[in-house]
Structure 1
């Protein structure tokens, strides 16, 4: 029994402003108000961070926005980016994507890589600005060439899927490696996938395993799931069912939808653990509710045939339709047979 092909890890776009100012001890930020001019933009930024992060037990998002605005209006690019993120996420202020773009752009024009990366994301998805892939690539590249790992990861993903650029797995590998060498777990997981599939690089399952392992050690649950598959099927390492189950369980418990599906399959087929249809249904349902199409198909299958649940064709059709809407051909075929 082989699992269906895992989806590669997705690129992560929006990232937060660094929490510390260079040369500033975070424990002293609040008390510096005594010694520094209140019109100082760096102090205002520090106060914004103090209230934003709840340092000293004082958390006040609205007060944080107040100080970010004062600093941002003086041209502080870090404060402009922090303020943009507040508008983007609705922290201390109502969500306003247009204002987020406005402040990101001001900081990006000052060559602040984090703002450039986030602005690129806004252009990519059309958030607060008209969707414009060329602009997304432009700003992402500027941040990537400055060495920002998240931007390098995003640029690599553009090359991998051919979004606004000619598809090039070789260039994707180049940029993923740049980010991975900075311990970006998403880029490391992507490298693992590309080595496993032999895309843009000579297929090397041992290297794939190593990159999945590095990524998983940094908390990437999808890479942990991929690591589980490596142990399950002997991809780049010896088969070890115990370790495979451990990887699946940990990732599934952390909420990874594909790991939940894999764990469900283990209980469903009983190949590396004792069969338990009730637990199979439980984990399939967890995954399906997060939108994973193969899990949605299997939940439909359980309802169609009355496996572990009362037979319910209408509920089965409902789940099949969810999976089919994502292009799942098994679900499409199941719907055709029921109709």
Structure 2
């Protein structure tokens, strides 16, 4: 019923009704296919403010939860693949992938930007359907031109990586700028990365920091980690360990593995906080549990050092 209401197929289109149905499945279902799909779609409703209050950070938390439940398209892959991450691991014809693609395809009538965006992303990755990256890039171009911020980010990523379209960092920068102009916190992050590294524009540490701050204030854990790094090193801002700790903590509380590792390092060495090996080990454990190799090494070395 959620998909029928979201697409307005045979019933009155209603984001609120769709959200309620998806949320019910997200909270109560144990179905291994329907639950992660519903979690993912509740995340999108939160991210965009469709059928519920807009909360981009909560949306991203739910994207991550959907990946943990088995929907590979969730987590960092929802947005964060533009800086060289391998896309092949997203190619899937699993039960979840094929069901998700079929639901999007059946519900879309060409007027629902989110559904059309998700279909394009499925085509880009080969998630539940045949991979066709030029077709996906063309669809994202149309949606981006119509002003859909997530498609602007995805199109910018395609231009940056040369996926389905000729590589062009200047156009990547332009599309990230348009999404950031809409205050999309992932668009702000991508644009900040461009200013930080000089992709498609002259490097501008101050502008990068300003954008990291804007995205951080909206709850973007990746931006919070990057902002903390800049306070830690004094790049684009005066060095301030107290501010670095503040933002590492904010990101770590949201489960960002890099922030957890950095916070552990600060506790281990007494940087910006009192030295506390127990807290350091706890931060390293949380980061290592997510696969952070640096945290695993630090945790092993700290354990060894404490036995000497």
Which SS does the other structure have where 1:200 is aligned? Answer: coil
- Which of 172, 189, 201 pairs up with 2:153? 189
Verify: 1:85 aligned to 2:49, yes or no.
no
- Which of 240, 243, 249 pairs up with 2:207? 243
Q: 1:338, CA displacement in angstroms?
A: 2.4
Which SS does the other structure have where 1:252 is aligned? Answer: helix
Q: Who is 2:128 aligned against? A: 164
- Which of 311, 316, 338 pairs up with 2:280? 316
Q: Who is 1:180 aligned against? A: 144
Q: 1:240, CA displacement in angstroms?
A: 2.3
Return the TM-score normalized by structure 1: 0.63
Runs of 4+ in 1 over 4 A off after TM superposition: 13-18, 79-82, 95-98
CA contact (8 A) 2:189 2:212 kept: yes
Q: 1:157, CA displacement in angstroms?
A: 2.4
- Which of 332, 335, 338 pairs up with 2:296? 332
Q: Who is 2:166 aligned against? A: 202
Q: What is the rounded CA distance, in whole Å, between the counterparts of 1:14 and 1:188 in structure 2?
A: 24
Which SS does the other structure have where 2:12 is aligned? Answer: helix
Return the TM-score normalized by structure 2: 0.69
Q: 1:298, CA displacement in angstroms?
A: 0.3
CA contact (8 A) 1:222 1:258 kept: no
Which whole-Å deviations, capped at 9, do the CAs of 1:75-109 have from their partners, x for residues lacking one? 9601677434334346xxxx6669xx9xxxxxxxx
Which whole-Å deviations, capped at 9, do the CAs of 1:251-310 have from their partners, x for residues lacking one? 111111111111111111112221111111111111111111111110111111111112
Q: What is the rounded CA distance, in whole Å, between the counterparts of 2:102 and 2:255 in structure 1?
A: 32
Which whole-Å deviations, capped at 9, do the CAs of 1:129-188 have from their partners, x for residues lacking one? xx6432221121234462421112212322344433344433432332232233111111
Q: What is the rounded CA distance, in whole Å, between the counterparts of 2:28 and 2:178 in structure 1?
A: 37
User: Aligned residue pairs: how many?
Assistant: 244
Verify: 1:138 aligned to 2:72, yes or no.
no
1:90-169 equivalences under 5 Å are 132-144=96-108, 146-169=110-133
Q: 1:335, CA displacement in angstroms?
A: 2.0
Gaps of 5+ in 1: 1-12, 19-71, 102-113, 115-120, 126-130
CA contact (8 A) 1:149 1:182 kept: no
CA contact (8 A) 2:4 2:107 kept: no
Q: Who is 1:7 aligned against? A: none
Q: What is the rounded CA distance, in whole Å, between the counterparts of 2:276 and 2:130 in structure 1?
A: 47
Q: Who is 1:37 aligned against? A: none
Q: Who is 1:222 aligned against? A: 186
Q: Who is 2:87 aligned against? A: none
Verify: 1:261 aligned to 2:234, yes or no.
no
Q: 1:192, CA displacement in angstroms?
A: 1.2
Q: Who is 2:255 aligned against? A: 291
1:12-31 equivalences under 5 Å are none
CA contact (8 A) 1:87 1:97 kept: no
Q: Who is 1:51 aligned against? A: none
- Which of 268, 271, 276 pairs up with 2:235? 271
Q: What is the rounded CA distance, in whole Å, between the counterparts of 1:89 and 1:258 in structure 2?
A: 26
Q: Which has the larger radius of gyration?
A: 1
Q: Which moved more, 1:318-327 or 1:297-306?
A: 318-327
